[in-house]
Structure 1
Amino acid sequence: MKIVVAPDSFKGSATAREVAEAIARGWRSRRDDELVLLPLADGGEGTLAAFESSVAGSIRHRVTVTGPDGAPVDASWLMLPDGTAVVELATTSGITLLSEGGLLPLDATGRGFGEAIADALAAGASRLLLAVGSSCSTDGGAGALQALGARLDDAHGNPIRPGARGLADLASVDLTAMLAVPTRGAIVVSDVANPLLGPDGAAAVFGPQKGATGDDVEAMDAGLAHYAGLLPASAEAAGAGAAGGTSFGLLAWGATLEPGAGVVADAVGLEAALDDADLIITGEGRYDAQSAQGKLPSHVAGLAHARGVPVALVAGSIDARTDEFVAAVALAELEGSVEAAIAHGEAALERAGAALAAGFDGAA
């Protein structure tokens, strides 16, 4: 049998590569099949690693950028063989770069993300894939735009303060000196469809995850609304609220937005890997109702079903119907709890792979 193992990362527990390899080890403990490992991502944390492990000839470029609290951060971006640069916000301006007690909901900046994009452009990137998950800022992409050459000034002609706090001070916008979007375009990839503003927007939905209080959320949403009125992009665009509105700012630059799962799957050749496959195993850390609305496992299942390939799911926990899968294994059930599943990590994933192999006869 040909078995494709194509999971997302299990956030905070294992990379997509580690997940795929652990599931494969478990499968091999029960069956001797051809296993094709294809780690995936949906635009969030781990996208860079998924591309690096799945696209031969990728080259990682190191860069030091301004971190979310203003301190230098050692980060990197990836150049693919076709001249596409993959830049991941999580490595430059991500929430994991700040300790839980040090979150800065009003002051964290995404400037470092823009600096990494500029570095990729200087290296000759002809296309950009911009993964925007795991942000710790709600600055609407203002910091990134400034790093790319935008002037965002207050009433005195000075650059606005970093972070969401500075948006209320914005008096003038000049994008004319910005670096040009590369010839083959810039694509923002994300699994988030939220607009920029309102009850479903960047501040209301994601602000509390970044340490924002109720008053902070109100102030951030008002600042984003003021900011949106001065930039040439739609605040209502699906996904404009991703990464604290970073997607909105990049839209104003000239980027486009696309669902991350599809972009990554296309780039790493998932459809070709499905040729003659007898089963594909996918997964993510938590499979819930939101997952079923188009996140990576759902996207993988759609591609597989169109080719008549059955799909199995492995997840840390499962809290949604799994009708589209021929089998579904929750690590929390195998190990007795979510905490135990996280603690046992790759061993739990191996058990899941073995369980799937034991129950698969190729006739599903």
Structure 2
Amino acid sequence: MKVVMIPSGFKECLDAEEVAYSMMKGARRFDPFIKTEMIPMIDGGEGFAKAIIKIKNGELIYKDVIGPVGEKVKSHYGIFIEGNKRTAVIEMAAVAGLKLVPSFQRNPLKTTTYGVGELIIDALDMDVDKIMIGCGDSGTSDGGAGMAQALGVQFLDDEKQVIPIMGGEDLLKASSIDTTHIDKRLCGIPIDVACNWTNVLCGKQGVARVFGPQKGAKPEEVETLSLALEHYAMLIEQSTKKNVRNSPGSGASGGLGAGLLAFADATLHRRFDLIMNYIQIEEKIATADLVITAEGSLDFQTPNGKIPCEVARIAKKNNIPVIAITGTIGRGAELNYDVGIDAYSSIIQRPVTLKKAMFKAPQWIEESVEGILRHIGVGIIMADRKTLSERELSYDNKINQA
């Protein structure tokens, strides 16, 4: 039996490579000689830049920039060379991710994407020919306004005064946008963004209402943030003639997608489509007897472009069974059956605090994979016995007929 393991990371706990390693250890606990292949997957979130740079033999560049709560953080991006073209790979999670927002400061009305813009400027200083940005695991909901400010965009209040570094709620203070000071080097530099295509900036399914609570917003703050992003979209349309309210991907990373569309003329892509240009998995899935995937939380959002279901869709083309393991099973998890996941289970074995669950995750991932394979092993034994019994019965019938 060959098992191909294609996990994503467990947010704020383990990256995809760490999850894959624990899965492989679990498989070897079942059978030291089992055929396995690990393919740690990235979706634009944590680990995106390092993974792409590793694949492309590029270089990581470290830089201190403004983090999501307005304080300096050590971040990074990468550059690789291909066909005499220099491509920068920026991961928004490495500069404005949720993991960089202390739990007591998790309020998307306050956090900023300013550091994302600083990394873009630094990449331009390195004379890159192209920029690729991964959107995911964000701790912000400023619509990319902070990023835009770092690029030179100015947000003006009623008195035409420039508003300093902004969080989501500060968008309500702006009465106009001045784009005349934006860095001119952005013209002609292609920017490709890997994002969740289903996330939009505004409306009932807008990023404030869908993801605001996950980032620490209370119900009244969600409404404030929703109004602020609606106002922001109106200002963008007035200043750039671009309507980003419901553009696919505009809500990615707290609306960073909208900011990149409006001020950097970026092209947004379904994250899996863009990433598949760098990580080839179809041929490897086709050779598997079983695919095991993984994600920190499996729920109604998973079918909307997240790794487990994208992996499952590919596997189903080849009639390969797919099992998912997860940290938590959330509302609407059963929807994942409809997109190709045949079974799923949580690694959590008993009631436990989040802190302990995160500490025990590597061990529990191992044990979960071992348990899955042992269950499958029992099924194989039962199937073999049934086949043997049917053969014996057929043989007895032939003898009797003779």
Length-normalised TM-score, structure 1: 0.87
Which residue is 2:239 aligned to? none
List runs of 5+ in structure 2 lacking aligned partners: 237-241, 384-402
What is the aligned residue count?
Answer: 361
Q: 1:240 aligns with which of 250, 261, 268?
A: 250
Greater shift in the superposed pair: 185-194 or 299-308: 185-194
Which residue is 1:33 aligned to? 34
List runs of 5+ in structure 1 lacking aligned partners: none
Task: Rate the CA distance shift 1:27–1:80 in 2: closer, same or farther, 3 A.
Answer: farther
CA contact (8 A) 1:118 1:179 kept: no
Larger radius of gyration between Structure 1 and Structure 2: 2
Task: Rate the CA distance shift 1:359–1:212 in 2: closer, same or farther, 3 A.
Answer: closer
Q: Within the alignment, does 1:294 sit opposite 2:305 as a pair?
A: yes
* Structure 2: distance between partners of 1:289 and 1:203: 17
For residue 154 of structure 1, report the CA deviation from its aligned partner: 2.8
Greater fraction of residues in helix: 2
Task: Rate the CA distance shift 1:192–1:173 in 2: closer, same or farther, 3 A.
Answer: same
Which residue is 2:321 aligned to? 310
RMSD: 2.8
Which residue is 1:171 aligned to? 175
Listed as ranges, the matches of 1:72-221 within 5 Å are 72-82=72-82, 83-161=86-164, 162-176=166-180, 177-181=182-186, 185-191=190-196, 193-221=198-226
For residue 209 of structure 1, report the CA deviation from its aligned partner: 3.2
CA contact (8 A) 1:16 1:50 kept: no
* Structure 1: distance between partners of 2:42 and 2:133: 12
SS at match of 1:261: helix
Which residue is 2:391 aligned to? none
For residue 270 of structure 1, report the CA deviation from its aligned partner: 1.9
SS at match of 1:57: coil
Percentage of matched positions with identical amino acids: 33
TM-superposition CA deviations, 1:60-79 (whole Å, max 9, x none): 11011112232211100122
For residue 2 of structure 1, report the CA deviation from its aligned partner: 4.2
TM-superposition CA deviations, 1:300-356 (whole Å, max 9, x none): 111122234332322223452364345534212xx2346565442111111122233
* Structure 1: distance between partners of 2:81 and 2:282: 19
Which residue is 1:223 aligned to? 228
Query: Whose relative contact order is higher, 1 or 2, with alpha carbons under 8 Å and at least 6 apart?
Result: 1
TM-superposition CA deviations, 1:160-214 (whole Å, max 9, x none): 2321233223233233433444867322223362321233212223333333344
Structure 1 counterpart of 2:370, one-letter code? A
For residue 145 of structure 1, report the CA deviation from its aligned partner: 1.0
TM-superposition CA deviations, 1:26-64 (whole Å, max 9, x none): 1122332343221112223333344355x1513211011
Task: Rate the CA distance shift 1:272–1:78 in 2: closer, same or farther, 3 A.
Answer: farther
SS at match of 1:267: coil
Length-normalised TM-score, structure 2: 0.80
TM-superposition CA deviations, 1:108-129 (whole Å, max 9, x none): 2210011112222322333333
Which residue is 1:11 aligned to? 11
CA contact (8 A) 1:240 1:248 kept: yes
For residue 90 of structure 1, report the CA deviation from its aligned partner: 1.7
Q: 1:255 aligns with which of 260, 263, 266?
A: 266
CA contact (8 A) 1:65 1:115 kept: yes
SS at match of 2:276: helix
